[in-house]
Amino acid sequence: MNLGELSTILVWGATTAYAVALIAFSTDLARRTEAAA
């Protein structure tokens, strides 16, 4: 495994983690809005 492959894996890992966190945040926000209403 060279540096380029490692860098690509890190970038994809960070992107995936960001996407998952964004989805979790959105669903949490929607639930809070429902509870407040």
Residue whose C-alpha is closest to residue 15's, from 4, 32, 23, 33: 23
- Name the CA dihedral angle for 21, 22, 28, 29, rounded to a multiple of 10 degrees: 150
Question: How far apart are alpha carbons 8 and 34 in whole angstroms?
Answer: 39
> 1 pLDDT exceeds 90?
no
- Please tell me the pTM assigned to this model: 0.69
pLDDT tens, 3-35? 999 999 999 999 999 999 999 999 999 999 999
